[in-house]
Structure 1
Amino acid sequence: MAAVIEAKGLTRHFGGLRAVDGVDFSLEHGEIHGLIGPNGAGKTTFVSLLSGRIPVQSGVITLNGEDITHLPAHLRVRKGVAYTFQITSVYPRLSVFDNVALAAQSRGAADVPAEVARALAQVGLTGLDLSIAGTLSYGHQRLLEVAMGLALRPSVLILDEPTQGLASGEIDGFKALIRSLVPQTTILLIEHNMDVVMDLADRITVLNFGQVLAVGTPDEIRRNRAVQDAYLGGDHAAG
C-alpha cells in the first residue's frame, strides 16, 4: 500500500518538554491505523502537527507525496485531511442539520441537504436533523462531530478519542461505522479503549515520551515486551 501521509523526523518541543521527538510515521491508503500510548506520550501534539494546528519545529510531512509541512490547518482540510473534535466542533445552539451543513458548505458541496442526509445516515443520526445539537446526549454529540468530519468528504479522517463517553452498545455501532468508511477513507484512530483499537486497527503505532516505541499489527503490539512494560501491563494486558 502507498502512504497517504508520511512524516519524517517530526519534532515539537515546549520549553524543556520533548512532546514529539523525531517521529517517523506512515499512514497507508485505506488502512485503519491506531495511535496509542500512555498519557503524556505526545499523541495529541503529534496529530496536531499532522493536521496543521501546531507548527512543526523540524521534520517533513507529505500528503500523497506533496510537502504540506508548512500548510495551515484549513488548507489541509481542503486537501482532504479532517481532524474531528479539533477542526470540527458542535455548535450547541444550532440544529444538527445546520452543524453538518456548515461543514459541507465549507468545501463547496453542490447539494448540501443531500450531503447532510448522507453524513447523518452514516453515523446513525437520521431523523435528528431538526434537533438542537446542545440537547443531544454526549454520545450523540460525539457522533455528530464525526458526521461533520464526514461532510468534508476527507481522504484521511483523524479521530481523537471518538468512543469517549459512548455506551457499550454505541461503541459497537461506532466500530461498524469505521469499518464502513474504509478503504475510501483512511482512518487514524487515537483511542484509549484498547478493545476498540485491537479490534479495528490494521496497524498500531505506540508513542512513549514523544518517540515511537513500536509499530505493528495488533498481535505484534500485544506481544511486544517494551509495549507491555510501558503501556499494556497490568489492567491493559487482556485488552
Structure 2
Amino acid sequence: MTDYVLQTEDVAIHYGGVKALDGVALTLERGQIRGLIGPNGAGKSTVIDAITGRRRLTRGKVTLGGQDVSALGVVERRQRGLSRSFQRTSVFGQMRVRQQVELASHQMGADDPGADADDVLQELSLDRMADTLAVDLGYGEQRRLDLALALVGRPSVLLLDEPMAGLSVQESLDLAQHLKALTTRRKVSVLLVEHDMDVVFGISDQVTVFELGRVIAQGSPAQVRADPRVREAYLGSAA
C-alpha cells in the first residue's frame, strides 16, 4: 500500500445549499507534482484552503504524513510540514531578500535560520540578489521570493495557488523548472493550481480536473488530455 504524504478523503465544504466542495479525494506521493485544473469557480483554491485549514470542513478528513490533521489550525499544519503560497505575492518590499527569508526561517524554528535562508535562496537562484530590496526585484523574481518564503523549514508538502499568474512565458518556464528540480532535490511534494496548461501538463506527474466542486477526472497528463469529458468541458474538443 502506498504511503501518501498528503491525502484528502471525502472532503466537503457546504455553505447552506451551496456545495463549494463535495466529496473530494486526492492523494500526493513524496516528490510528486499534482496539477489541479478546472474553470474559474470549480473549487481549486477552496480545496487548498481546506487542506491548509483556512476553511472548516463540512465532512471528510485531511491526512498529512499518515496523521489526521483535520482538527489542526493553519499554523500547526505549517509546523508539521504543510506550506502554501497565494495568488498574490506576500513579500515585504522594503526588506532585503535574505533578511525576510531568514526571518521566516526563524519564525519556523529552524536551528540555523541563516543557513536555511542561504540554502533556499541558492536553490531558487536568488542568492545573487540576497541584499536587494524586494521592491527592486522584477515580478518573476518576486514570485520566486514568495516561493522561497514557503520553502523555509523544509516542508514536505507545498501548495501553490497560481504561481505563474502575471509572469511572462519565459518566467513561467523558469519557475516551472525550479519547481520540478525542487521535487528531486528536496523531495517536496507539490499540489499546483494553475491556468497555464503548458506548465501543468509539462511538469505534473498527475493531473486532477475539478468541475463544480467535484473531481471529474484524474490521471497522468496523457490520460487527462484524452478523457472525453475533460476535452469537452474544459480543454476543448481539439485539445
For the criterion TM > 0.5, the same-fold answer is: yes
Q: Secondary structure at the match of 2:99?
A: helix
Q: Is the 8 A contact 1:56 1:70 kept in 2?
A: no
Say which SS state the counterpart of residue 129 (structure 2) adopts. Answer: coil
Do the aligned partners of 1:29 and 1:186 also contact (CA within 8 Å) in 2? Answer: yes
2:199 maps to 1:196:
yes
1:215 maps onto 2:212 in alignment: no
| Equivalent residue runs for 1:1-239 within 5 Å | 1-85=2-86, 89-183=90-184, 184-233=187-236, 237-238=238-239
In 1, Cα distance between equivalents of 2:116 and 2:143 = 19
Q: What's the CA shift for 1:212?
A: 0.5
- Measure how far apart 1:233 and its partner are: 0.7
3-state DSSP class of the match of 2:149? Answer: helix
Same amino acid, percent of matched pairs: 40
- Secondary structure, in 3 states, of the residue corresponding to 1:22? strand
Counterparts of 1:130 and 1:17 in 2: how far apart (Å)? 48
Please, which moves more after superposition, 131-140 or 188-197?
131-140
Structure 1 regions of 5+ residues with no counterpart?
A: none
Opposite residue 226 of structure 1, the aligned amino acid is R
* Shift, 1:156, TM fit: 0.5
SS at 1:165 equivalent: coil
In the aligned structure 2, how far is the partner of 1:151 from the partner of 1:167? 26
Query: Contact 2:116–2:153 (CA<8 Å) still a contact in 1?
Result: no
- For the Cα contact (< 8 Å) 2:156–2:189, is it kept in 1? yes
Q: How many Å apart are 1:110 and its aligned residue?
A: 2.2
User: TM (normalized to structure 1)?
Assistant: 0.93
Separation in structure 2 between the aligned mates of residue 107 and residue 118 of structure 1, nearest angstrom: 15
Partner deviation per Cα, 1:158-187 (whole Å, 9 max, x = no partner): 111111122222222212211211141111
**In structure 2, the residue corresponding to 1:147 is in which secondary structure?**
helix
Cα RMSD, aligned residues only: 1.7
Q: Following TM superposition, where does structure 1 have runs of at least 4 consecutive aligned residues deviating by more than 6 angstroms?
A: none
State the SS of the aligned residue for 1:11: strand
The count of corresponding residues between Structure 1 and Structure 2 is 236
> Structure 1, residues 108-128: CA drift from partner, whole Å, max 9, x if none?
122222211111111121221
Which segments of 5 or more consecutive residues in structure 2 lack a partner in the other structure? Answer: none
TM-score (norm. length: structure 2): 0.93
